[in-house]
Amino acid sequence: MAETSVENSITPDHKGNVVSRFVWTYVFATDHKVIGLQFLFSSLIWFFVGGFLALAVRWQLAWPWSDMPIFGHMLFAESGGQMSPGFYNMLFTMHATIMIFFVIIPILAGAFGNYLIPLMVGAEDMAFPRLNMLSYWFMWPAFACIILSFFMPEYGASAGWTSYPPLSVFQGDAQSLWLLAMVFVGVSSMMGSINYLTTIIQMRAPGMTMFRMPMTVWGMFITAIMQAFALPVLTAALLMQLSDRLLMTGFFLPENIAVNNGVATSGGGQVLLWQHLFWFYSHPAVYIMILPAMGMVSDIISCFSRKPLFGYRPMVYSITAIAGLGFIVWGHHMFISGMNHTLAMSFMVSTMLIALPSGIKVFNWIGTLWGGKLQLTTPMLFCVGFVAMFVIGGLSGIVMSAPPVDIVIHDTYYIVAHLHYVLFASSVLGVLGAIYFWFPKMFGRMMNERLGKIHFFLTFVFLNGTFFPMHFLSRMPRRVADPYIYEGLKDLLPLNQFMTICAIGMGLTQLIFVANFFGSMFFGAKAGRNPWNANTLEWTTVSPPPHGNFDVQPVVRRGPYEYSHPETDSDFFPQTKTS
């Protein structure tokens, strides 16, 4: 096995000096595990950048126009450390952009997808290792564009992560860099998804039928399909907007509008066209940001319940249904946009329907817990937290999918509450759980349980303190630098201050995670091959797995969830074990 993978890679034998060895193993890495870790580390770094931006947003909402700590004096010395309203718009724009495109998508698909897919299906590497390398490389021009844009006027793009024209077309040059960055990220994801699809379809170990794949792989598989279909649309739309900005093509601009005394547009374009194209990608994208996490959570919950995943096939069917329906619900972001009001009704019906498979998944997770022998380890706590929080996010989704109700709550903090319950309280908790779970495989050492539990407890408490009250701000518009300019919103100041304090607490809590992560990497207890007594293939090889992954070709004999099988003595039954 090891030989074939060397053949596959362009890595020369590891001699040479230290520098060239470093370059060959880390820059020109074609091993899916190294690429996975590259995605993991860059996403975690961006996670902290995005978190800082969020805290700055919260700062302004709690103590508007006051002296911002540290950055205030660096950037706004003339105004006494007080941020400008344009800067505020940059903060939430770049916070969302970074969190979505540089953190959650790359960490789920890029890091865990890369690391786990070949290991879990029993392959020695991805189908196209060099394409895989390129897909990580393409993140870097995106990083470069975004870093550069922070040095352009207003310190970055500021038209919202949704980048609605005409506003985005009339923004400064940072917006062009933003668009380019998004194109690069899209190309990167597209290369990744082709690789995942091919690997899952072509490279499964003997005996690994589709319905013996762990939910993690199913989640990645369906996500890759969604990316492959939705990303071309986004890429086209981004390039159209870029050419509107640079070549005055006017795809998205109606006749005769001008901003800041500029030349009036000549027209022929449609403003709403962008929104349709954008949400045609971005609604599937919100599922791209949760299906892999749902898969990983399913595996972890089943493992620590020591019990088969309840209703494996319905779980697979429901993510497939979510993916299918996910392509016909994008209009729920546009109920108030002025789109045909009858069409809104059809989008409402499909959105209501998509809540159904989401609900089924929750019931199945609860069914898995019920009657189990639960081991409340750190990864398990994060995953149970995921389920509980996803209930809240899903329910607020149903509230918003009722168009008459959405009239009130669209573009208010209620939306912000919803999206943070699904993206932070669900996806990010799932990702953290997955890090605690697979860390022993990745680095060969265990993470500290006590610190992990403290991390979970504080994150859980602070995240609810930060995001739950947002449900009650359904009259406070989002993306407003100073809501207290409205008489009717002045009374919301104390609540906002409470949320900001919780958010700062949540930010500080993550330092515990950083300490645990790096501490355990060097000083953690040694993990064997299978510290959690789990069934799936990645646990049959050494930790961390070598180039080529498996010392013996795995042959799969059963599904991944045979925990506490009555015919065995032990409470787990690895997929490869001869009975």
Partner 1 sequence: MNRFWSVLFLLVPVLGIASILMAMYGVAPLESAWLPKSLSQAGDTIDQLFNGIHLLAAFILAGTVFTIGWALWRFSDRGDSDAKALYITHNTKLEITWTVIPALILVFLAFFQMKSWAENKMERPTVTVNGVSSFKPPMVMVKAKRFGWEFYYAGDDGVVETEDDIFVENLLVLPAGEEIVLQMESRDVIHSFYVPELRLKQDIVPGMTQFVWFNAREEKEVEIMCTELCGWGHYMMKADLNFVSRAQFDAWIAEQKSAYSPEFKKAVEPTASLRGSSSLYSAERLIAAQADLGFEK
For Cα atoms 428, 294, 419, give the angle at the middle one, nearest 5 degrees. 50
**From Cu ion, ligand HEM, partner 1, none, interface partner of 65 (C-beta below 5 to 8 A by class):** none
Question: How many residues at the interface with ligand HEM, by CB under 6 A?
Answer: 23
**From Cu ion, ligand HEM, partner 1, none, interface partner of 258 (C-beta below 5 to 8 A by class):** partner 1
Identify the CA nearest to 158 among candidates 144, 168, 143, 147: 168
Binding status of residue 167 toward partner 1 by CB under 8 A: yes
Q: Which of 32, 33, 95, 283 binds Cu ion (CB under 5 A)?
A: 283
Q: How far is CA 516 from CA 204, 423, 447, 512, 563, in A?
A: 34, 23, 7, 6, 30
Residue nearest Cu ion by beta-carbon distance: 283
For Cα atoms 104, 114, 216, give the angle at the middle one, nearest 5 degrees. 75
For Cα atoms 315, 320, 321, give the angle at the middle one, nearest 5 degrees. 95
Binding status of residue 425 toward partner 1 by CB under 8 A: no
Binding status of residue 410 toward Cu ion by CB under 5 A: no
List residues bridging with 477 in a β-sheet: 412
Binding status of residue 298 toward ligand HEM by CB under 6 A: no
In angstroms, give the least distance from the CB of 283 to ligand HEM.
8
Q: Which of 415, 432, 480, 527 binds ligand HEM (CB under 6 A)?
A: 415
Residues 89/154, Cβ–Cβ less than 8 Å: yes
Residue 445 φ then ψ, to 5°: -135, 155
Q: What is the number of other CB atoms lying within 10 angstroms of the CB of residue 263?
A: 7
Q: Which amino acid is at 302?
A: S
- For the purposes of burial, counting CB atoms within 10 Å of the CB of 570, is it exposed (0-12), middle (13-18) or buried (19 or more)? exposed
Residues 383/433, Cβ–Cβ less than 8 Å: yes
Buried/exposed 509-533: b ≥16 CB within 10 Å, e otherwise: bbebbeebbeebeeebeebeebbbe
In angstroms, give the least distance from the CB of 548 to partner 1.
34
The site map against partner 1 for 358-377 (x = CB under 8 A) is: -xx-xxx-xx-xxxxxxxx-
Residues of this chain, 554-573, that bind partner 1 according to CB under 8 A: 561, 563-566, 571
The site map against ligand HEM for 253-292 (x = CB under 6 A) is: ---------------------------------x--xx--
Binding status of residue 349 toward partner 1 by CB under 8 A: yes
311: phi > 0 → left, psi -120 to 50 → alpha, else beta; which?
left
Q: Which of 108, 492, 527, 537 binds partner 1 (CB under 8 A)?
A: 492
Binding status of residue 397 toward ligand HEM by CB under 6 A: yes
In angstroms, give the least distance from the CB of 163 to ligand HEM.
11
Binding status of residue 491 toward partner 1 by CB under 8 A: yes
Residues of this chain, 111-150, that bind partner 1 according to CB under 8 A: none
Binding status of residue 297 toward ligand HEM by CB under 6 A: no
Q: How far is CA 218 from CA 222, 320, 325, 387, in A?
A: 6, 9, 17, 18
The site map against partner 1 for 281-310 (x = CB under 8 A) is: ------------------------xxxxxx
In angstroms, give the least distance from the CB of 131 to ligand HEM.
27
CA distance 408 to 417: 14
Q: How far is CA 508 from CA 62, 383, 499, 500, in A?
A: 18, 21, 14, 12
In angstroms, give the least distance from the CB of 254 to partner 1.
3
List residues bridging with 255 in a β-sheet: 266
Binding status of residue 529 toward partner 1 by CB under 8 A: no
The site map against ligand HEM for 308-337 (x = CB under 6 A) is: ------------------------xx----
Identify the CA nearest to 237 among candidates 201, 299, 279, 265: 279
Question: How many residues at the interface with partner 1, by CB under 8 A?
Answer: 115
In angstroms, give the least distance from the CB of 330 to Cu ion.
6
Binding status of residue 336 toward partner 1 by CB under 8 A: yes
Binding status of residue 272 toward partner 1 by CB under 8 A: yes
The site map against ligand HEM for 105-144 (x = CB under 6 A) is: ----------------------------------------
Residues of this chain, 336-365, that bind ligand HEM according to CB under 6 A: 351, 354-355, 358
Q: Which C-beta is closer to partner 1: that of 18 or that of 263?
A: 263
Residue 465 φ then ψ, to 5°: -65, -35
Scanning 7-15, 62-70, 281-289, 553-561 for contacts with Cu ion by CB under 5 A, the matching segment is: 281-289
- For the purposes of burial, counting CB atoms within 10 Å of the CB of 341, is it exposed (0-12), middle (13-18) or buried (19 or more)? exposed
CA distance 343 to 337: 12
For Cα atoms 174, 180, 181, give the angle at the middle one, nearest 5 degrees. 85
Q: Which C-beta is closer to partner 1: that of 228 or that of 328?
A: 328
**From ligand HEM, Cu ion, partner 1, none, interface partner of 425 (C-beta below 5 to 8 A by class):** none
Buried/exposed 10-35: b ≥16 CB within 10 Å, e otherwise: ebeeeeeeeeeeeebeeeebbbbbbb
Binding site for ligand HEM (CB under 6 A): 162, 286, 289-290, 332-333, 351, 354-355, 358, 394, 397-398, 400-401, 406, 410, 415, 418-419, 422-423, 427
What does the binding site for Cu ion look like in residue numbers (CB under 5 A)?
283
